[in-house]
Amino acid sequence: MKRLAIIVLAIAAVACAKENVRTKSPEALDVLDRLQAAADSGQFFFGQEDFPFYGFSWEYEPGRGDVKEVCGSHPAVLGCDLGHIELGAEENLDGVPFEVMRKAIIDHYAEGGLVTLSWHARNPLTGGNAWDVSDNTVVASVLENGSNHELFLGWLDKVATFIQSLTTAEGSKVPVIFRPWHEHTGSWFWWGRNICTADQYKALWKMTMEYMWGRGLDNLITAYSPNYGGMTEEIYMERYPGDEYVDVFGYDAYGDGPEFITTLRNEMTMVAGVAKKHR
């Protein structure tokens, strides 16, 4: 999965200023306020996936970063992925040790940065990777009464334990923008549009977040993030789990060229409009 990933927050992703039924830590509320203030003022936070760990021609050189070498400072947002944590592995699917990731996340937050986490979980039914779409019963198998439900709860436990460990030296919980089950309007992940029904996807999302909240993770800010291309408001909202489960509206996009930019602008404008409707 190693590839350049640029993260931009608070352009199309308008932080929901609604009241959420779930309790949030003061630190998480502060991040939501920062996102909302940026959106209100036409500003954004620029970020990069894995930027402290490797770059164009280097790996694990403390203090180094490609963006820093070009712009003079590190990105505002650090993105990391938890793929393989469900296996009890010491490194994620990009070969980043989880202990190194943990320290980088805490350090980045201490310096005033924002943190976002995704999770490319392996296929719990086939044993393949997140991109294994050979079976369309995977999501059903992890839901309540499914054959892999207990296994999957164990996976969620490992994710929750890692997030719970993200605390500063003073004992504050690091607020995390958690982006589970992303790019679901495509069909390249086992939770994708043609691999499970809309109801199954919503149930997966709700089960995930209710488990995290049950573990007391009030430092989570949840981001809903469908994929670029052919995006309409109807498609965007087709699998939306509900305002009580989502804090930030987002959008994943990879590409280049004039056509990409035009589509990106149009679709992000739509996403921003939908986010404002849901406050």
Q: State residue 11's pLDDT score.
A: 41
Q: State residue 18's pLDDT score.
A: 42
Percent of the chain with pLDDT over 90: 91
pLDDT tens per residue, range 18-71? 444 478 999 999 999 999 999 899 999 999 999 999 999 999 999 999 999 999
Average pLDDT over residues 214-237: 96
Q: State residue 241's pLDDT score.
A: 98
Calpha distance 236→249 (Å, rounded): 10
Domains of the chain and any CATH numbers? 6-277 (3.20.20.80)
Q: How many CB atoms lie within 10 A of CB 26?
A: 11
Is the pLDDT reported for residue 247 higher than 60? Answer: yes
Q: State residue 5's pLDDT score.
A: 60
Check residues 279 and 203 and name the one with the higher pLDDT: 203
Average pLDDT over residues 201-223: 97
Percent of the chain with pLDDT over 70: 92
Q: State residue 1's pLDDT score.
A: 52
Q: What are phi and psi of 7, to 5 degrees?
A: -110, 130
Please report, for residues 75, 81, 109, 115, 259, the alpha-carbon distance to residue 27 in angstroms, rounded to integers and kept in the order given. 20, 21, 10, 12, 39
8 Å CB contact between 189 and 134: no
Q: What is the mean pLDDT of the chain?
A: 93
Nearest Cα to 187, choosing from 150, 144, 135, 233?
135
Average pLDDT over residues 267-278: 94
pLDDT tens per residue, range 169-207? 999 999 999 999 999 999 999 999 999 999 999 999 999
Query: What region, left, alpha or beta, does residue 216 occupy, with left being phi > 0 and alpha being psi -120 to 50 degrees?
Result: left
8 Å CB contact between 139 and 208: no
Dig out the tokens for 217 from the structure: 């993770």
Is the pLDDT reported for residue 165 higher than 60? Answer: yes
- Kindly indicate the confidence band of residue 15, based on its pLDDT and cuts at 50, 70 and 90: very low
Q: State residue 51's pLDDT score.
A: 97
Side-chain-side CA neighbours of residue 151 (13 Å): 16
Side-chain-side CA neighbours of residue 174 (13 Å): 28
Non-local CB neighbours of 265 within 8 Å, separated by 6+ positions: none
Calpha distance 20→4 (Å, rounded): 33
Q: State residue 14's pLDDT score.
A: 45
Average pLDDT over residues 80-95: 98
Q: State residue 79's pLDDT score.
A: 98
Q: State residue 46's pLDDT score.
A: 96
pTM of the predicted protein model: 0.92
Q: How many CB atoms lie within 10 A of CB 132?
A: 17
